[in-house]
Amino acid sequence: MKSLLLEIFYILAGLVSIIAAVYALKDDKHPHRKETALFWFLFGAIFIVGKYIPAPIVGAMLLLMGVLTAMKRVTFGSLANATDDMRQKSANRLKNKIFVPALTIGVIAFFVAQVFKSLGGLVGLGFGAVAATLIALVMTKEKPKQFGYDGSRLLLQVGSASILPQLLAALGSLFAAAGVGEVISSGIAGVLTEGNILGGVIAYCVGMAVFTMIMGNAFAAFAVITAGIGMPFVYAMGANPAIAGALALTAGYCGTLMTPMAANFNVVPAALLETKNKYRVIIAQVPIALALLATHIVLMYVWAF
């Protein structure tokens, strides 16, 4: 039941991507409309029929998508939002009712995960999204076609970065297959004595923060550090995986707060706000990031074991 429902939702998600490809292709003012459309078409196709294609071909499709983004051919184009004036008018008309469909997604996702445990949060997300769409359809009185347009607008705006979590997971698999985790853990093993849980927790949390500071991306760090440090020194010692995993990732975010490598969060906003000191955002965040990192270590040690 669960896998059937999920498969249906994957097909719907693939359709969202393919519709975006169609809108990109129809966008006359788009400088790279064919390449952009190809990117989203491939992504959608992987969702809909990827299961039935041999894996190496899916891998090759992803490399092709990588070539398209490397050449900067996957871009936004010119799908317009409603004008400021129209949006403000609509906001005044709908008032706080406008939050209802948006909150529906999270509430239903949680409800399904909590009550129908066998279905899980992902099926819940699917139901939540469908329910929210129906509520919005009635509430805003927009035509169904408009939903396709605005979904495409959003997807093209977020752009190729939306496939990044999946690619990083694939990178994690490759690192694991190539034995990267062993290299890191054998390096750490020289410092830590076996069975030293506190040492393992510190190495995991600080490793996440430091590695995130170097790479500028906690998601990428998570795959590497979890395989190299988390597995042998924390999970293998009997840590609750949900708690240790959740805390490890946010420990990485403490690193994100302190590094100029996370340019989108720290350097670009400083430029946007025209600060005199270009590290002003990082300076503001360092004390709280360090306090939070220490808290992560304590919490993981006390709560996960």
State the minimum distance, in angstroms, from the CB of residue 220 to another protein: 6
Q: Which is nearer to another protein, 183 or 198 (CB)?
A: 183
State the minimum distance, in angstroms, from the CB of residue 120 to another protein: 6
Q: Which is nearer to another protein, 206 or 223 (CB)?
A: 223
State the minimum distance, in angstroms, from the CB of residue 83 to another protein: 10
Give the DSSP per-residue string, the chain: -HHHHHHHHHHHHHHHHHHHHHHHHH-TT-TTHHHHHHHHHHHHHHHHHGGGS-HHHHHHHHHHHHHHHHTT------PPPPPHHHHHHHHHHHGGGGHHHHHHHHHHHHHHHHHSTTTHHHHHHHHHHHHHHHHHHHHH---HHHHHHHHHHHHHHHGGGGGHHHHHHHHHHHHHHHTHHHHHHHHHHTTSPTT-HHHHHHHHHHHHHHHHHHHS-HHHHHHHHIIIIIHHHTGGGT--HHHHHHHHHHHHHHHHTT-TTSHHHHHHHHHHTT-SSTTHHHHHHHHHHHHHHHHHHHHHHHH--
State the minimum distance, in angstroms, from the CB of residue 37 to another protein: 16
Q: Which is nearer to another protein, 33 or 184 (CB)?
A: 184
Range 162-168, long-range pairs (CB < 8 A, 24+ positions): 163/43, 163/65, 164/219, 165/219, 167/62, 168/217, 168/219, 168/220, 168/223
Q: Which is nearer to another protein, 30 or 104 (CB)?
A: 104
Q: Which is nearer to another protein, 199 or 245 (CB)?
A: 245
Rounded to whole angstroms, the Cα distance separating 21 from 151 reads 11
Q: Which is nearer to another protein, 36 or 160 (CB)?
A: 160
Q: Which is nearer to another protein, 189 or 261 (CB)?
A: 261
Q: Which is nearer to another protein, 60 or 198 (CB)?
A: 60
Q: Which is nearer to another protein, 17 or 36 (CB)?
A: 17
User: Is residue 140 packed enough to be buried (19+ CB in 10 Å), middle (13-18) or exposed (0-12)?
Assistant: middle
Rounded to whole angstroms, the Cα distance separating 149 from 17 reads 11
State the minimum distance, in angstroms, from the CB of residue 197 to another protein: 17
State the minimum distance, in angstroms, from the CB of residue 24 to another protein: 14
State the minimum distance, in angstroms, from the CB of residue 150 to another protein: 3
State the minimum distance, in angstroms, from the CB of residue 127 to another protein: 10
State the minimum distance, in angstroms, from the CB of residue 35 to another protein: 13
